[in-house]
Amino acid sequence: MNWREDLAGESPEKDFELEQALQHFKASIDAWSNAALSRPRMMTKAPVRQNWRPAAIWALGCLLAAASLTGAAYKMLHRQEMTKQAAQRSTEKPAAAARSIAQPTNALPEKKAPAATVRKLSTGAQDNAGGQDENLLASVNKDVSQQIPAAMEPLAQLMDSNGAQ
């Protein structure tokens, strides 16, 4: 249903008046919209908003990534350095031990070991090995029988035998 069907039963005079009223209303709306579109307008420039948050998040993310990579690289280099030092120490220890066995130190005064513990060997090569054993036993005996550490001996000589100064 529309308005024409509603007015179909009414007089043609009312129908004409209604159509003219609607035409005038349409014409006034058209004139008003044309006037609104053709009048000059003042445009204001919208203020530029700078949003620093995405840039700050991105920069902090890059900083975090760089710090993580730097830390990982430092840790790897430190491990490599420690591995090199450990390998160097492991090669030095057997060599140092072999040198100390091959060349006994004569800096310590030799003490005669009890006759029951030291056996004299008859051959020359066995005498050399026996001499090394004697030196080793003498140094162990001196270290075990020592009452005070070697670094404290000068201070111990200052003390009386009863412990008073």
User: For residue 18, which of 1, 28, 30, 6 has the smallest C-alpha distance?
Assistant: 6
pTM of the entire predicted model: 0.30
The residue extents of the domains of the chain are 55-103, 106-148
Q: Give the count of alpha carbons within 13 A of 149, CB side only.
A: 2
User: Contact, 119 vs 130, CB < 8 A?
Assistant: yes
**In the prediction, which pLDDT does 121 show?**
41
**In the prediction, which pLDDT does 61 show?**
96
Q: Which of 69-73, 83-87, 104-108 has the lowest mean pLDDT?
A: 104-108
118 pLDDT tier (thresholds 50, 70, 90): very low
Of residues 81 and 157, more confidence is placed in 81
